[in-house]
């Protein structure tokens, strides 16, 4: 399944967003000759996190983080970001 559209990114870059039942993936890349790629992967639910992460992040805090990220990603989608 292809969740992004192949295109040239010479002048601007767009954030690619993929959302499934368990994860959210957001990817960004610069437009220079040596671009830096930024890929963020979030579990949709605290229960889907690895045990080590569950021990470091409270459930309430994780819900807040994911809800803020979902708001940010929905704004990107409205600005014609491909997902």
Q: What is the pLDDT of residues 6-59, one digit of tens each?
A: 655 556 666 778 888 888 888 888 777 787 888 888 888 888 888 998 899 888
Domain boundary assignment for the chain: 16-78
The runs of H, that is alpha helices, within 1-83 are 51-56, 59-78
Confidence bin at 83 (pLDDT 50/70/90)? very low
d(Cα 61, Cα 66) in Å, to the nearest integer? 9
What's the pLDDT score for residue 76? 65
Rounded to the nearest angstrom, the gap between the alpha carbon of residue 44 and the centroid of all alpha carbons in its chain is 11
19 neighbors 4 (Cβ within 8 angstroms): no
18 neighbors 24 (Cβ within 8 angstroms): yes
């Amino acid at each position: 399944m292809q969740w992004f559209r192949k295109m040239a990114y010479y002048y601007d870059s767009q954030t690619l967003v993929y959302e499934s039942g368990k994860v959210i993936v957001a990817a960004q890349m610069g437009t220079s000759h040596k671009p830096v790629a930024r890929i963020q992967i979030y579990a949709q639910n605290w229960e889907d996190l690895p045990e080590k992460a569950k021990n470091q992040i409270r459930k309430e805090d994780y819900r807040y983080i994911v809800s803020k990220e979902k708001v940010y990603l929905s704004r990107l989608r409205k600005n014609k970001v491909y997902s």
